[in-house]
Structure 1
Amino acid sequence: MTDTTEAWTARILTLFPEMFPGPLGQSLAGKALEKGIWRLETLQIRDFACDRHRTVDDTPFGGGAGMVMRPDVVDAALAAATADGLGPAIYLTPRGRLLSQGLVEELAAGPGMVLVCGRYEGLDERVIEARQLIEVSLGDFVLSGGEPAALALIDACVRLLPGVMGAEETLDEESFKTGLLEYPHYTRPAEWNERKVPEVLMSGHHEKIRAWRQTQAEEVTRSRRPDLWDAYKKRGA
């Protein structure tokens, strides 16, 4: 078993710690968690509130709908969460930089990360600035809170940790690794509902298979993600 003092750690600041590990306790991530390959820690943000009602939010200055998470409470939680210097502190928000495989690889290569899961209308801007939180978004959509985004980000990182995936070469051929989407996959039966597996995949000719997969990856990227295709071509690949 891996020494837990050296295990990659995901430390989560949340109002709903019971949402974890959730799906992260299953499948490959769950097995890796049991083995001590990675560690999951949650901090209840309400525990850092100063009043007897454990208030974590208040009405926004300037008016408007909803509530805003108080900077003093979140800052106290962050002070506790970052005291040992664990990784970067990330705030999951729709206005953040778009999460990419490159960022996932950076985070997985470090000791871990601190994730702040916002609720309501989000965090007071001052604590974001004061703590220099890295703002990250899963995409152009809005969730009810940062917890589902945290689950997705942690899963993406954990699967890259040594000893989690069964075959390391699997990681080398995934979508985004080379800047392209992944090629199509097929398995038995060789013919299903009058649809046949491409003959080249059953030829046993490894170089032809490699070339076919490269062509397919390029075609699917060009048709489905022209933004990725343009970036791929600019790199001179």
Structure 2
Amino acid sequence: MKIETLSTFPRMYDSVMGESIMKRAQACGALDFHAYDLRDWTHDRHRTTDDDPYGGGQGLVMKCEPIFEAYDDISASGPAPYTVFLTPCGEPFDQGMATELSSQERLLFICGHYEGIDERVYALADRCISLGDYVLTSGELASMVVIDAVVRLLDGVLGDEGSAIDESFYDGLLEYPQYTRPASYRGMEVPEVLLSGNHAKIAAWRRAQAVERTARLRPDLLKSANITEDERAFLLSLHGDTL
């Protein structure tokens, strides 16, 4: 997959893309990443990417001309990128959306800053995404979260190909509790079933824990979670009509 970003602070990606899973994804050839500097498409000596908003108001608005020009140049080579904007007006981001994006051949993230982007630029959007109901300094930060969630789903990126399946939200549930050595610490014991070596019992315990934990901590997820009728009946016996 090819992932590109267009922003006023491309160096913000250096540390994230040069470490851990993102570094591994590039090393194994699963990811081709490039961060473009929007200022390269400006035409004044100050390399201006923003201006005062029409109608007055606080702050500055990102200009449309350099973004359109950059998009034209970036998309001229290869297949047209699937273009994503990070904005409070976007769809809430979740694991399902990450899976959808991971099937794209080429993604381009256009990142806002300041008080926002000239509304005309959204004509370029294939998708607008919001991470939540809060405000960040810039779209670069939000795009890093989305990129990370997408890239870890690409074939060959994770060392254990089954690990993505076991993670939270894969089937609409939170992940089951995890433990490692020592088996006993400060009076807290690892559940006996995990020490049994019985893989069928362990799998059943983990599934039950994931279902119960989701019902307790994120009951809103159960409406669309992939659970059986028996599991739903079990939860109703525990929580009644609150589900």
| Counterpart position of 1:91 | 85
Write out aligned runs for 1:225-236 (5 A). Answer: 225-232=218-225
Matched, 1:210 2:203: yes
- State which of 175, 197, 201 in structure 2 corresponds to 1:182: 175
CA–CA separation in structure 1 for the residues paired with 2:80 and 2:181: 46
Secondary structure, aligned partner of 2:162: helix
CA–CA separation in structure 1 for the residues paired with 2:178 and 2:114: 41
CA–CA separation in structure 2 for the residues paired with 1:177 and 1:91: 24
TM-score between both structures, scaled by the size of structure 2: 0.88
Q: Tell me the CA shift for residue 188 of structure 1.
A: 0.7
- State which of 49, 56, 64 in structure 1 corresponds to 2:57: 64
CA–CA separation in structure 2 for the residues paired with 1:30 and 1:111: 19
Q: Give structure 1 stretches of 5+ with no counterpart.
A: 1-7
Secondary structure, aligned partner of 2:225: helix
**In the alignment, residue 119 of structure 1 is paired with which amino acid?**
H
Q: Tell me the CA shift for residue 198 of structure 1.
A: 0.6
Q: Tell me the CA shift for residue 136 of structure 1.
A: 0.6
Secondary structure, aligned partner of 1:106: helix
CA shift digits 1:5-61 (9 cap, x unpaired): xxx111110111111232221122212213332111121111112333221111112
Work out whether residues 21 and 40 of structure 1, in 8 Å CA contact, stay in contact via their aligned partners in 2.
no
Secondary structure, aligned partner of 1:213: helix
CA shift digits 1:119-157 (9 cap, x unpaired): 0011111110x2134111122221100111121111112
CA–CA separation in structure 1 for the residues paired with 2:210 and 2:228: 16
Write out aligned runs for 1:1-237 (5 A). Answer: 8-83=1-76, 84-128=78-122, 130-232=123-225
Moved more, 114-123 or 70-79: 70-79
Work out whether residues 24 and 155 of structure 1, in 8 Å CA contact, stay in contact via their aligned partners in 2.
no
CA–CA separation in structure 2 for the residues paired with 1:70 and 1:144: 17
Q: Residue 74 and residue 156 in structure 1: after superposition, are their counterparts in 2 closer, same or farther (change >3 A)? A: same
TM-score between both structures, scaled by the size of structure 1: 0.90
Secondary structure, aligned partner of 2:115: coil
**In the alignment, residue 6 of structure 2 is paired with which amino acid?**
L
Q: Tell me the CA shift for residue 234 of structure 1.
A: 9.0
Q: Give structure 2 stretches of 5+ with no counterpart.
A: 233-243
Work out whether residues 84 and 127 of structure 2, in 8 Å CA contact, stay in contact via their aligned partners in 1.
yes
Secondary structure, aligned partner of 1:119: coil
CA–CA separation in structure 1 for the residues paired with 2:143 and 2:15: 11
